[in-house]
Amino acid sequence: MNRVHNTKFVLWLIAGFAAAVVLNRFIFGLGVTTNLNDRTPWGLWIGFDVMGGVALASGGFVITAIFYIMKREQFYPLVKPAVLTAFLGYLAVISGLLVDLGLPWNIWHMIIYWNPHSPLFEVGWCVMLYTSVLLLEFSPVPLEKFSRYAKVRNFLMKFRFVFVLLGIMLSTLHQSSLGTLFLIMPFKLYPLWYSNILPIQFFISAIALGLMVVALESLVSHWLYKRKPETNLVAKLCRIAAWVLTLYFVVKITDIIAEDKFSLIFNGAWQSNLFIIEVLISTIIPAVLFAVPKFYNNVKVQWTGSSLVIIGMVLNRIDVGGLVMLGVTGDSYTPAWTEIVISLGIVSIAALVFLFVIENFHVWETQPIEPESIPHKLPLFDYSSRTWLGTPDVSSVTTHSLAFVISFAVGMALMPGKHLHSKGIDNIKVSPASGIDTLYINGNRDNQFVKFPHQAHISRIGKDSCFTCHHLNMPGEKLSQCWECHTSMYTSVDFFKHNSHISNKNANLKCDDCHKSGENRSALTAKKCTSCHPTYNFFTYGKNTIQKYKILSYTDAMHNLCVSCHILESRKLKDKPNLALCSTCHKTQLPDYLSAAVSWKIKVPHFNSVILPGVDLKKKIIKSVLKSQ
């Protein structure tokens, strides 16, 4: 098989996968498809897709400046691919932004509602304008194929210098303004990155990055299509980049020293170590590599160096765009796999479009593409089986669409169903309380315990009060525990178990026993529970009467009983005026024997039966043992 064909296959796979995830993101919203939250509202999409993307697309303005403004004619072969990369890069940024924005259909609001104080407003406008300028800059290439647009093409060619100049001016603005975005959060950005000249640092690093993107793009596409690499041109780019990187390093270090932050670099914090790694990868190592003639003329070093700069500078954008803020906000954000897939998908679609344009239009100057390198231009005939595999174009298209469709399907299937249908509350099962006389209640397992001393309550409010809480028992039990019926932490559950009533192992009832014959069979028309269970002591709280067969959630059940009584008692009692405060019951320290059990994850069943009268202790113990098995 073929390099180009295989690469495209992989790209189509990723694209299909991402398309499924994008669909889900727009149907179900940001909450279930990302790990973003109120403390980390900007994540991978802003850090990589937008911040990194804009920086990566800076090759266009750098190369046009070198070629059109500084008249370095030898760079001509790199200009068209660079402008194409920039154009596609900006389209990728915009699509990444559309996925990230909460209300992407309102993106045009920037045109009519102005807030010139906002750096984002400026970035938005510049990106919009520059993308249009790039379209005008690049469109002569595809228009070349259609002779009827010759006039339009000539017109565009005439104003090419103006477009280039405008493009450079606009790029200067928004490349630096991406840094301005973060000037307003000195409190969030780690001091090593925060700087009043952040915009200038961003601009200089964008130039270096742009040079390296053009270099790597030339290396990759020549490797893909098995063409002779443009080693000399790339070497020149590397040499310029070495100067720019040195400038960047000097500016950065001078600023850090001037602001008296130098000691921070080696203080061992994870942010500081990240900073060291980032500067090493993005600046120091490549600058040193590209300073030596033996190295910058070597293709392998060109590959490593340019990749290092790209990885390092994108890391820089991700750091500034949110990664190092995690230390301040105290949040632990890791991008969800969906976020990563969408980011990769946007990149692969841009790459596919790039390959398509390169294959079909006059982008490269020096050599034509060798026909052997494009699989779908070759006849497809399997010699071993002597079969015709279909017309060449069709067969290639088929494999690639198959890749897309299959990965789309896999993507749809992988979206976790629980997430998709979640409305925010998970039905958390209540964990039983532990303790002997004093209960330590930890229903939702967050280890914030609530203390309930049985004996103290009995001595204060008497033995009759037992039945205030133990108001209802499971069949065959005398004092059932709260969590046996109130099984769900936050949601109410059905009280009535229809199955147990009709099953011949339990009640073995006929339909007519509860539902009158001829009537619509529903919960509302059925016989009242008390007519068969006269001893049942039902609570009726608001709408949740037993007629609706609902059991209150554990939290509601507990709060309704405890709080209402505590408020009444706190008014009566003079020695305990704080009885109604939340802190009276919440955030209780565990006794030693229980905290050990909790840390070892041992369940300690609560034997309230030991001190409470009238309960078959044996039965309880057997039951709890059975449960633990």
Task: Give the one residue of 583, 600, 618, 629 binding other proteins; rule: CB under 8 A.
Answer: 583
Q: Does residue 581 interact with other proteins by CB under 8 A?
A: yes
Q: Which stretch binds other proteins (CB under 8 A): 32-40, 429-437, 596-604, 613-621?
A: 32-40
Q: Which residue type does 580 have? A: A
197 vs 433 by CB, closer to other proteins: 197
Measured from the CB atom, the residue of 330 and 614 that comes closer to other proteins is 330
CA distances from 212 to 11, 111, 155, 200, 403 (A): 22, 33, 32, 19, 31
Q: Which is nearer to other proteins, 116 or 518 (CB)?
A: 116
Structure tokens at 261: 């932050």
Q: Can you tell me which of 490, 495, 538, 607 binds other proteins, judged by CB under 8 A?
A: 490
Burial classification of residue 538, based on how many CB atoms lie within 10 Å of its CB (0-12 exposed, 13-18 middle, 19 or more buried):
middle
Asked if 510 contacts 523 with a C-beta cutoff of 8 angstroms, the reply is no
d(CA 269, CA 259): 19
Residues in the chain: 629
Task: Return the residues of window 41-70 that contact other proteins according to CB under 8 A.
Answer: 41-42, 65, 68-70
Rule CB under 8 A: say whether 36 interacts with other proteins.
Answer: yes
Residue 287 as a binder of other proteins (CB under 8 A): the answer is no
Stretch that binds other proteins, among 24-32, 309-317, 605-613, 621-629 (CB under 8 A): 24-32
Binding mask 119-148 for other proteins (x = CB under 8 A): xxxx-x------------------------
d(CA 304, CA 320): 24
Please provide residue 550's backbone torsions phi and psi, each rounded to the nearest 5 degrees: -115, 140
Q: How many residues bind other proteins (CB under 8 A)?
A: 69
Residue 197 vs 355, nearer CB to other proteins: 197
Least distance to other proteins from the beta carbon of 279, Å?
23
- Residue 33 burial by CB count (10 A; 0-12/13-18/19+): exposed, middle or buried? buried
Q: Is 576 in the site for other proteins (CB under 8 A)?
A: no
Q: How far is the CB of 176 from other proteins (least distance, A)?
A: 7
User: Identity (one letter) of the amino acid at 293?
Assistant: P
Distance CA 342, CA 17 (A): 8
Choosing from 101, 563, 602, 622, the residue that interacts with other proteins (CB under 8 A) is: 101
CA atoms within 13 A on the CB side of 567: 5
Q: Under 8 Å CB-to-CB from 20, ≥6 apart: which residues?
A: 407, 408, 409, 410, 411, 412, 415
Q: Given the complex with other proteins, which of 170 and 308 has the nearer CB atom?
A: 170
Q: Considering beta carbons, is residue 228 or 421 the nearer one to other proteins?
A: 421
**Under the criterion CB under 8 A, does residue 169 sit at the interface with other proteins?**
yes
Q: Distance (Å, rounded) from C-alpha 308 to C-alpha 300?
A: 12
One-letter amino acid identity for 180? Answer: T
Binding of other proteins at residue 496 (CB under 8 A)?
A: no
| Binding interface with other proteins (CB under 8 A) | 26-32, 36-39, 41-42, 65, 68-71, 100-104, 106-107, 109-110, 113-122, 124, 165, 168-170, 172-173, 176-177, 180-181, 183-188, 196, 199, 328-331, 423-425, 444, 490, 578, 581-583
